[in-house]
């Protein structure tokens, strides 16, 4: 068999692979594209990390970190068991110790509703009195008391009472949905808002949290026509 000519071999070689210059161009474009995608991914990932960090970062003591109906939630710093002196309204009503959970709910009820609790003392757990019948007046707080799991649906503005530990916790219900409630609270680090499951069973309403005893609400006759200025 005759051997292929040198010219034919050269022609075949030229058609089977691109010129070296074109190869280098495509390699460079691929590297630049991958580098750009990598840089964008790093910026995006870094932004997500920064957002997450800011959302969970505990702010300095006394910093305003949230508000509900114009009543501010303040940071208590890193130590939830430390208070920072008594806090009074301009006209002398005692809110509580800065910036504990009790201080916020009492300030909310006074500044928003104009409600003075008959007994301004006591830790969070004491806001719910087990001896008070469901739907009747809690005399120390001047509010109607409702037990969790009974026949009254929680409402926005209610004062929610947790009875865990020695002192418990209190918060304000900020939203009520079909299957959950949202609360706003103070002295819980950076997590001022929290959702808790809500279930209706027949005529009964249950907030699913093992230490929620119930909630307090202004008596109908005491509902103000306008918030305290």
Averaged pLDDT, 178-199? 97
Identify whether the C-beta of residue 118 lies closer than 8 Å to the C-beta of residue 140. Answer: yes
Which range has the worst mean pLDDT, 26-35, 41-50, 83-92, 191-200?
Answer: 41-50
**Phi/psi zone of residue 53: left (φ > 0), alpha (ψ -120 to 50 degrees), beta?**
alpha
- DSSP, res 17: S
| Cβ burial, residue 103 (10 Å; 0-12/13-18/19+) | buried
Q: Does pLDDT of 18 surpass 60?
A: no
Residue 120 is predicted with a pLDDT of 85
Residue 106 is predicted with a pLDDT of 99
Q: Does pLDDT of 88 surpass 60?
A: yes
Q: Does pLDDT of 28 surpass 90?
A: no
At 214, is the pLDDT very low, low, confident or very high (cuts 50, 70, 90)? very high
Residue 149 is predicted with a pLDDT of 98
Averaged pLDDT, 80-85? 84
Residue 24 is predicted with a pLDDT of 58
At 228, is the pLDDT very low, low, confident or very high (cuts 50, 70, 90)? low
Averaged pLDDT, 124-142? 98
Residue 195 is predicted with a pLDDT of 99
Q: Which residue has the higher pLDDT, 18 or 131?
A: 131
Which range has the worst mean pLDDT, 43-57, 151-165, 185-199?
Answer: 43-57
Strand boundaries in 91-142, DSSP class E: 94-97, 136-138
Q: Which of 155, 157, 165, 156 is nearest to 125 (CA)?
A: 165
Residue 31 is predicted with a pLDDT of 55
Q: Does pLDDT of 134 surpass 80?
A: yes
**Phi/psi zone of residue 25: left (φ > 0), alpha (ψ -120 to 50 degrees), beta?**
alpha
Q: Does pLDDT of 190 surpass 70?
A: yes
What is the rounded average pLDDT for all residues in the chain?
A: 83
Q: Does pLDDT of 74 surpass 90?
A: yes
Q: Does pLDDT of 113 surpass 80?
A: yes
Q: Does pLDDT of 3 surpass 90?
A: no
Rounded Cα distance, 224 and 201, in Å: 32
């Amino acid at each position: 068999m005759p051997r292929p000519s040198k010219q034919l071999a050269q022609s075949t070689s030229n058609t089977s692979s691109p010129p070296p210059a074109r190869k280098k161009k495509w390699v460079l474009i691929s590297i630049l594209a991958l580098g750009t995608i990598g840089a964008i991914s790093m910026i995006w990932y870094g932004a997500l990390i920064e957002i997450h960090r800011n959302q969970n970062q505990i702010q300095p003591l006394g910093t305003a970190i949230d508000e509900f109906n114009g009543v501010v939630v303040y940071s208590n710093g890193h130590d939830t068991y430390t208070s920072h002196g008594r806090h009074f309204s301009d006209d002398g009503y005692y809110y509580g110790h800065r910036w504990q959970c009790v201080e916020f709910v009492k300030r909310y009820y006074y500044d928003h509703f104009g409600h003075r609790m008959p007994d301004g003392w006591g830790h969070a757990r004491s806001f719910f009195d087990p001896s008070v019948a469901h739907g009747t007046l809690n005399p120390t707080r001047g509010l109607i008391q409702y037990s969790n799991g009974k026949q009254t649906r929680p409402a926005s503005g209610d004062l929610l009472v947790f009875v865990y530990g020695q002192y418990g916790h209190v918060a304000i219900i900020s939203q009520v949905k079909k299957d959950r409630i949202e609360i706003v609270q103070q002295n819980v680090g950076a997590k001022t808002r929290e959702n808790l499951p809500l279930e209706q069973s027949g005529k009964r309403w249950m907030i699913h949290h093992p230490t929620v005893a119930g909630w307090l609400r202004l008596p109908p006759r005491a509902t103000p026509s306008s918030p305290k200025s």
